[in-house]
Structure formats: C-alpha cells, structure tokens
Amino acid sequence: MATKNVRGIEPAVVEPVAGPRERYRAQVRAEVQELAWVQVTQTGASGLSLKAIAKQMGITAPALYRYFASRDELLTELILSVYRELAELVEAAAGARDADRDKLIATATALRDWALANPQRYLLIYGTPVPGYAAPPSATELAQRIFAPLLASFPGTPDQVLRQSLTFWTRLHGVISLEVAGHFRGMPFDPSELYADEVTSTVAGLP
Amino acid sequence: MATKNVRGIEPAVVEPVAGPRERYRAQVRAEVQELAWVQVTQTGASGLSLKAIAKQMGITAPALYRYFASRDELLTELILSVYRELAELVEAAAGARDADRDKLIATATALRDWALANPQRYLLIYGTPVPGYAAPPSATELAQRIFAPLLASFPGTPDQVLRQSLTFWTRLHGVISLEVAGHFRGMPFDPSELYADEVTSTVAGLP
DNA sequence: TGTACATCAGTGAACGCGCGTTCACTGATGTAC
DNA sequence: TGTACATCAGTGAACGCGCGTTCACTGATGTAC
C-alpha cells in the first residue's frame, strides 16, 4: 500500500495518498484498538466488549460496525498485532548479534522483558486458548516467525537442531508464563535470576 | 468428620452418620460440580454458569443457592478440588519410589499424563488467571503440596536445591502448557519424546 | 468559485439472548412425640 | 404405630445488568462539475 513519490523519497506520513476520509477511518480504527487493549488488559480476552468500547468513545455501538465487521474480527486483529509485534521484537534482538550464543541470549532477554511489560499480550497468544475462538491461519505463520530466531546453526542433524531450539523455547516459556500468571508471587527467590540462570545454562549446554 | 465405629472398622460409606437429607445434599452438590466441570471443559472458566447448570439438572437456578452461596464459591471449590487432585496424584507418584531420580521421573510422567487427560483442569490452575477472580489462601498451600515432591534431597545449599527444583518444575510446565494449549499442533515432532528428553536430560544434570 | 450530488459516519430503536441474584411462597419429607 | 409439626428443597416472578448485531434513518462532509 505504501507508495514512494516521484523522487523516490519516503513521505513522512504513512499513507500519503489517502483522502481525509480514509485518514479519519484509520484514526478511529486505531483508537478502537487502543481501547480494546485497555479492556483486554483489565478483563482478559473474553471481556472484550464492543458496547463498552463505544461507550468510552462517546459513540453508539452500531457505529463500530463501520470499522470492524464483528467482535471476532477485532479480536483477531488484536491477536495478529501481538504476533507481529513480538515477531519484530524478537527478530530485531536476534539480528543485532553475530554469534549464535549471543543471539539466543539477546532474544531470550528481549522476550522476557517484553512479556513482563505486556503480560496480557503474552497471555493472549500463549495463555489459555479463548474457548470457541479459532485463530486465523496467518497466526501460524507469524508464530513461526517468532520461533525462527531461536533456531541457531549449531552442529547436528536438522532434527537435533529443531529439538534443541524447541527445548530452548519451552524452557523460556516455562519460566515466563509462570511468572506472568503470578505463580511466583510470594516465593522466596528472584524470578529474573532464575530466568537468567536458565538461559545461560541452556545456551552453555549447546554443542 | 469421618468417624470410626465401635470396633474401629472403617464403614463402607464415607459419611455413615449423615441423615437422608445430608446424603441427598451431598449427592446434589456432587452432581452440580460434575456438570460444572463439563461446562468448564467446553467453555473455559469464564463460561461457568449457574443458570445453565440448573437447566441441565431440570431445576430452576435459585434452587442452586441451597447448595452454593454464589457462582464464585462454586468456582473456588472446583479450583481447590483440582489442586487437591493434582497434589494427591503427584504425592502418590513420588511416594512409590525410593531413589531421588526415579522419584522425579515418576512425578514428571504422572504430571504430564494427568495434564493431557485433564487439559482444562491443568489450565484452570496454571493457565491465564481468571480476571477479577482471586484464589483463596488455601490454594497457595495446596500449590506448595504439588511442588514439594519435586524437591529432592540432592547435595547443595537449601537455596541451590530450591533453584534446581524450581527449574525442573518450570521446564515441565514449559512443555506441558504449550502442548495443552495446542501450540505444538502441526509441528513435525512428537511432544511425548520432547518431554521425555527434557525430563531425563534435566534429571541427569542434577548433582 | 459556487453549487448539486453522492458518500458514508453515526444514531436510536429494537431483537433476542444471557447472566447472577433476591424474595416470598409451596409442598414434600423427615422427625419427635 | 400414628399424627402433628418443623425443616428445607425447589418454584416462579422479578430486578438490573450486560452482550452482539440488524435496520432504516439523518445529516455532515468531500467531490465533481
């Protein structure tokens, strides 16, 4: 969609050709999604309510149907945006390093930091599945983009490498998900130390 | 509450002194909980509905208030019963073995088997927290009873032992929770192998 | 530049559904005399 | 053993709330001539 102008210079605004109506649409959509996030953060995915969002915007609920076909479509967009956000974050963390081990450590660190800063976002994609809601097919591709940076080129058959990466991932998730869900609360240790130990010892164990 | 009779023999029925009314109460309570489980299994914890349960029992909803003070109380009992069930299972698995390593492996195996057989039960206590619902204090004690069998008496300071046990736990949870939430679906590997490898390699790494 | 027209954001009423919970009540059932 | 009484499971109406979604509509706004 983004087009360059005649001299090949990227314009400052993202969608420069859009008329005022399209620009307005984009703004409203963004505002809806923002309020939706506040809701999901406070009440979980099942608490997402179009009527409540409309109320907060000082608008009637049917008006939202100009911007989203249904509640499920809005939820889907939220979920996909989480996948995208996390994929970019993880790719950036991995891309900034050369050595495989550094890459893995940087990625793991970025993952936890992000999860702690956005617990509900993390839980939205890795937590209890929303009953009756099926993620769109594109979510699977994005999930793989998140997983890919954990695939490092260590010696071994493709199967072994996959297994190592998977295990790295499940270990990170084990610590992060328990912490994010509050299961470490009141326990006599520092979760960030536990995580750091887990990351370094796992990376050190790789061939 | 359970009393022995004069000769010290455990009577067959659990609550022998209970009159017919109490017996009936217990039966109805059990039936309510059973139907509640079906609901939680199908729609998640937030889908638990007293009216729906009453309907299935061929009863009006207010009648349920003879047996449970509120929806939250019913949910609390469900959650506590999961903790209890899992604690007993884990204790039994650990108690049947002598050597520490065997104990850990048996416990880990029992944990995964149970989680796969009861995914919604597992997610009810280790998944995304139900927004607005606070677990009762006794849940914490029970959570520790589940964790305790993972504490083996390996050499090291109490801190090191705690750390090792925690890491064992987070690793098991990492694999189990991703599998139970369906994140391994369509991936080219066998989850049970992944889990078995993770268990044996972790136990082998202990001092 | 001014005006007529088409587009479309937003309204308000309504539908049908679900929920938890309260309350005064009926009527069956167990129990004490 | 028979009867009177107290207990208490379950009813039905109601309250107030929330939800997603549809529909015919109004009226502002951008656009084409």
Q: How is A8-36 classified by DSSP, letter by letter?
A: -PPPSSSSTT--HHHHHHHHHHHHHHHHH
Residue-wise burial string across B148-176, b where 16 or more C-beta atoms lie within 10 A, e elsewhere = ebbbbeeeeeeeebbbbbbbbbbbbbbbb
The residue ranking higher by pLDDT, B18 or B113, is B113
Q: Give the type of residue at A64.
A: L
pLDDT, tens digit (0-9, with 9 covering 90-100), for B87-106: 999 999 999 998 899 999 99
Tell me the C-alpha distance between B201 and B76, whole Å.
37
By CB neighbour count within 10 A (0-12 exposed, 13-18 middle, 19+ buried), where does B19 fall? exposed
Give residue B17's pLDDT.
Answer: 60
> Residue A48: which of A29, A34, A59, A62 has the closest Cα?
A34
Give residue B27's pLDDT.
Answer: 96
Residues of A in contact with B163 (CB under 8 A): 189, 194, 197
Read off the pLDDT band of B116 (50, 70, 90): very high
Question: Does A181 lie at the interface with B, CB-CB under 8 angstroms?
Answer: yes
Residues 6+ apart with CB under 8 A from B131: A42, A43, A44, A47
Strand C closer than 7 Å to the CB of A7? no
Is residue B15 scored above 60 in pLDDT? Answer: no
pLDDT, tens digit (0-9, with 9 covering 90-100), for A83-110: 999 999 999 999 999 889 999 999 999 9
Residues of A in contact with B135 (CB under 8 A): none
pLDDT, tens digit (0-9, with 9 covering 90-100), for A42-70: 998 999 999 999 999 999 999 999 999 99
The residue ranking higher by pLDDT, B50 or B132, is B50
A48, A53, A138, B3 from B131: Cα distances, Å: 12, 18, 28, 40
Residues 6+ apart with CB under 8 A from A64: A32, A50, A53, A54
Q: Which residue of B has its CA nearest to A159?
A: B189
Is residue B1 scored above 70 in pLDDT? Answer: no
Read off the pLDDT band of A132 (50, 70, 90): confident
Cβ B39 vs Cβ B48: under 8 Å = yes
Q: Which residue of A has its CA nearest to B163?
A: A194
Tokens of B175: 């694999």
Q: Which of A46-50, A176-180, B50-54, B184-188 has the lowest mean pLDDT?
A: B184-188
Tell me the C-alpha distance between B37 and B123, whole Å.
13
In chain B, what percentage of residues exceed pLDDT 90? Answer: 76
Cβ A76 vs Cβ A62: under 8 Å = no
Cβ B115 vs Cβ B161: under 8 Å = no
pTM above 0.85, yes or no: yes
Average pLDDT of chain B, as a whole number: 90
Q: Which residue of B has its CA nearest to A186?
A: B140
The residue ranking higher by pLDDT, B3 or B135, is B135
Strand C closer than 7 Å to the CB of B61? yes
> Which of A49, A122, A138, A170 to probe the B interface (max B CBs under 10 A)?
A170
Q: Give the type of residue at A54.
A: A
Phi, psi angle pair for B122, to nearest 5°: -60, -45
Is residue A13 scored above 80 in pLDDT? Answer: no
Is residue B2 scored above 60 in pLDDT? Answer: no
pLDDT, tens digit (0-9, with 9 covering 90-100), for B146-160: 999 998 888 889 999
> Residue B192: which of B124, B99, B116, B139 has the closest Cα?
B116
B43 closest CB neighbour out of A43, A132, A188: A132
> Residue A173: which of A101, A123, A207 has the closest Cα?
A123
Average pLDDT of chain A, as a whole number: 90
Read off the pLDDT band of A134 (50, 70, 90): confident
Tokens of B76: 């609390």
Chain A stretch 15-74, residues whose beta carbon is closer than 8 A to a beta carbon of chain B: 42-44, 46-47
In chain A, what percentage of residues exceed pLDDT 90? Answer: 76
Give residue B9's pLDDT.
Answer: 39
Give residue B10's pLDDT.
Answer: 38
Q: Which nucleotide in the DNA or RNA is closest to residue A64, CA to C1'?
A: C10
Give residue A164's pLDDT.
Answer: 95
**Three-class DSSP category at B67:** coil
Please compute the mean of the pLDDT values over residues A127-141 and round it to a whole number. 88
Give residue A152's pLDDT.
Answer: 82
- For C31, nearest residue by CA–C1' is B19
pLDDT, tens digit (0-9, with 9 covering 90-100), for B63-86: 999 999 999 999 999 999 999 999
Residues 6+ apart with CB under 8 A from B155: B207
A86, A146, A195, B172 from A92: Cα distances, Å: 10, 11, 21, 29
Give residue A14's pLDDT.
Answer: 41
Q: Which nucleotide in the DNA or RNA is closest to residue A65, CA to C1'?
A: D21
Going B170 to B125 to B27 to B46, the CA torsion angle's sign is negative
